[in-house]
Amino acid sequence: MPNILVIDDNVTNRETFADVLTSEGHTVLMAGSAEEGLAKLSAMAVDAVLCDLRLPNLDGLGAMELAHEKFGPIPWILITGHGNEETAVDAIKQGAFNYLTKPVDLGRLKATIESAVRMQAANRENKALRRELGYDEALDRIVGTSTAIRQLKAAIKQVARTDATVLIEGESGTGKELVADALHALSNRSGRPYLKVNAGAISHDLLESELFGHERGSFTGAIQQKKGKFEAADTGTLFLDEIGEMPLDAQVKFLRVLQDGSLHRVGGNQPIATDVRLVVATNRNLKEEVLANRFRMDLYFRLNVVNLQVPPLRDRREDIPLLAKAFLDRLNRRHHQQKEPSEGLINHLRRQDWPGNVRELENFIEKLYVMTPGKVIHPDITGALDDEPTPDAGAAPARDSTPAPRGPASADDAIRLLVGLPVDEVEKRLILATLAHFGGNKTKAARQLQIGAKTLYRKLIEYGVQTPGEVGE
Ligand SMILES: Nc1ncnc2c1ncn2[C@@H]1O[C@H](COP(=O)(O)OP(=O)(O)OP(=O)(O)O)[C@@H](O)[C@H]1O
Ligand SMILES: [Mg+2]
């Protein structure tokens, strides 16, 4: 039965569409906002999306753009108000499957959904065929032909179809998340839920509830029962990122869940069985963490069933020209331009050590790209090299490097996701995300945020993340 997602902030419309589509034999998921819709898409394979153009924060077009970027092509049908044909035509240019104008003719709705579902089925078949031929987009997203990358891709192919827990290790920015994505995409669980939890970005006291859920009233603020990511990932894959940041007490509980094969929600006493394939990643050397008593040995052994090492970029410099080309191609597509690198640029890129690895290379190229007015990109644009990587910075361990924090595809996307929030909330999110990015190192976070360390402490106490008197680093 095809799954259709209906995104509309108007409850009556939403339910009318859902009724019609359910009576046609579809399974309908509903969301009242773009954000809610995107969350549903990340948890479930959907065959077509019916989406109102006008939504409270992020609009229907923005949602489509993000969804296509994150989840690949899903037929997207926009509902536009009367007299909005121009926007509708734009939407098609940007990749919408079709549009319907209000008041929506239910006959047309059914027909449009039918053809969208048919197209998606053809897409899937095509994808399955390509996979049979040993070709997969998820692997193609990992650019590189060095021996290290070829071996890594071969290993991904080999272990993806098993249910073995995979530990991905590699410095920051090397592409661990791409590896995790490929493991899910190439597994028999692709099309099932794929959820990500970043153990380093969630405050310690919330991590357990995020993973395992909680019962109503189990702690202050737990006003409703909530399923954890583990339960939500049932029959699919859970990617637990920055596992090295998991505090020891959470490690104990986590290990128990892995041993028992069932979990308890916080405050709950019913064991819940789940079938989840686990992929974990860290930019620390987990074995060293074990030796330093920061990571439990028993948990390490449970996680380290298959170990994939993603090598730093400086150890596979031959991939740099290909990566640079891939990033430039993407920028050219995005900006509808045709810029190309000078030979000097490629040579320059190959000489750097890239302590922030592929992410740093990507950011650097993007910066040069936007600063280059002409067609040929040279390495010596004034200003763009301000924070050029130092030649020997690669000798420093990855944790001490300071690559630019990660974020959505562009600053505009980031802002759009925040529209509707109060400034204080935005500030809080920025501060906590920056802190998490630097592995909890307050000095580095304060420096990046360009605020004083004292201000940072005060804010953290305000947020309840730090207790007064607690000694920071
Ligand atoms: N081999 C690659 N080919 C193309 N893009 C890559 C490759 N490796 C990394 N990237 C890009 O570099 C950026 C960082 O990759 P990713 O987030 O997977 O790194 P990571 O190892 O998870 O880093 P961190 O430890 O900081 O979380 C992403 O934008 C990703 O798309
Ligand atoms: Mg990562």
Domains, the chain, with CATH or none:
3-131 (3.40.50.2300), 137-311 (3.40.50.300), 314-400 (1.10.8.60), 411-463 (1.10.10.60)
The partner residues of 97 in beta bridges, in order of sequence, read none
How far is the C-alpha of 125 from the C-alpha of 249, rounded, in Å?
A: 46
Least confident span in 160-174, 323-337, 398-412: 398-412
Cβ of residue 35 lying under 6 Å from some atom of ligand 1: no
Average pLDDT over residues 429-449: 82
Average pLDDT over residues 310-315: 97
In total, the chain counts a number of residues equal to: 473
Residue nearest to atom 10 of ligand 1 (CA): 175
Ligand 1 mean position, distance from CA 180 (Å): 11
Closest ligand (CA of 173): 1
Residues 6+ apart with CB under 8 A from 374: 339
Average pLDDT of every residue of the chain: 86
Closest ligand (CA of 177): 1
- Please identify, by atom number, the ligand 1 atom nearest to the C-alpha of residue 180: 18
pLDDT at 375: 93
Report whether 47 contacts 120 (CB < 8 A).
yes
Ligand 2 mean position, distance from CA 123 (Å): 29
Residues 6+ apart with CB under 8 A from 130: 136, 137
pLDDT at 392: 39
Phi first, then psi: give them for residue 199, nearest 5 degrees: -65, -20
Question: In the numeric block, which tokens belong to residue 10?
Answer: 């108007």
Residue nearest to atom 25 of ligand 1 (CA): 172
Distances (CA, A) of 104 to 77, 83, 179, 305, 347: 12, 13, 43, 53, 57
Cβ of residue 142 lying under 6 Å from some atom of ligand 1: yes
pLDDT band at 413 (very low <50, low <70, confident <90, very high): low
Residue 410 in this model has a pLDDT that exceeds 60: no
pLDDT at 411: 54
Ligand 1 mean position, distance from CA 255 (Å): 28
- Please identify, by atom number, the ligand 1 atom nearest to the C-alpha of residue 179: 18
Distances (CA, A) of 430 to 93, 234, 254, 409, 412: 34, 31, 28, 16, 15
- 3-state class of 162 per DSSP? coil
pLDDT digits (tens, 9 = 90+) for 69-113: 878 889 999 999 877 788 888 888 888 999 999 999 999 999 999
Choose between 234 and 415: higher pLDDT: 234
Choose between 266 and 405: higher pLDDT: 266
Residue 415 in this model has a pLDDT that exceeds 70: no
Ligand 1 mean position, distance from CA 178 (Å): 6
pLDDT at 37: 96
How far is the C-alpha of 466 from the C-alpha of 452, rounded, in Å?
A: 16
How far is the C-alpha of 251 from the C-alpha of 263, rounded, in Å?
A: 14
Ligand 2 mean position, distance from CA 419 (Å): 25
The Cβ-side half-sphere exposure at 442, using a 13 Å CA radius, reads 16
Cβ of residue 283 lying under 6 Å from some atom of ligand 1: yes
pTM of the model: 0.64
Ligand 1 mean position, distance from CA 359 (Å): 6
Cβ of residue 139 lying under 6 Å from some atom of ligand 1: no
Residue 386 in this model has a pLDDT that exceeds 70: no
How far is the C-alpha of 416 from the C-alpha of 404, rounded, in Å?
A: 20
- Please identify, by atom number, the ligand 1 atom nearest to the C-alpha of residue 319: 1
